[in-house]
Copies of this chain bind each other. A is one copy, B any other.
Amino acid sequence: MPVKRAMLEVVRHVESIVDGLSEKQINTMIEAIENAERIFMMGAGRSGMASRAFAMRLVQLGLTAYVIGESVTPAMTEKDLLIAVSGSGETKSIVSAAKIAKGVGSKVLAVTSYPRSRLGRIANIRVEIKGRTKIDIEKDHLKHQIIGTHSTFTPLGTLFEDTVMIFFDGIIAKLMSDLKKDEREMRNRHATLE
């Protein structure tokens, strides 16, 4: 598949799901971030990359954010918010960590395609981001075997991960307005050394 066509396929997917995003879920997420003492981000693989990219911007906004697995991440308390990202909502390490975080009283927010997944059920707050996830993939493969359709060129969690990345950037835009921060101020908080 040509590069440009695949790019437009991703763009169409993101576009198509924006409208369906729940305003209520978005507002609850914004509120949870603004009320948390500290925000902890967690995601495996490429979802982890989107989580870290978001954490960087939160820090530039002057909020206190950490990424699970990095060296300086402290103990969580009941004033903290854990944002756990998993397309399927069944990633083992994520589910198990979300359970522990909830156990110490932290609020858990799940960003997932499956609000009824194990992660979704543990979470206090759920934000549903549609994407073609590993579960869809199994269905697609089955269908492929039966009726011979072509398989995808945006493999595995690609659509979910790219949508989450852009969704997080949308959240940043809203936080910038709410917190009255502008780009210049964020730039001043940008890591000196990278």
- B-binding residues in A (CB < 8 A): 1-11, 14-15, 18-19, 21, 26, 30, 40, 42, 44-46, 48-50, 52-53, 55-57, 59-60, 65-76, 91-93, 96-97, 100-101, 104, 106, 134, 137, 141, 151-156, 158, 161-162, 165-167, 169-174, 176-177, 182-184, 186-194
Contact = CB atoms under 8 A, between A and B. Distances in A.
A167 B46 CA distance: 15
Nearest to A152: B183
A24 to B, nearest CB: 12
B104 A192 contact: yes
A171 B158 CA distance: 12
A72 B66 contact: yes
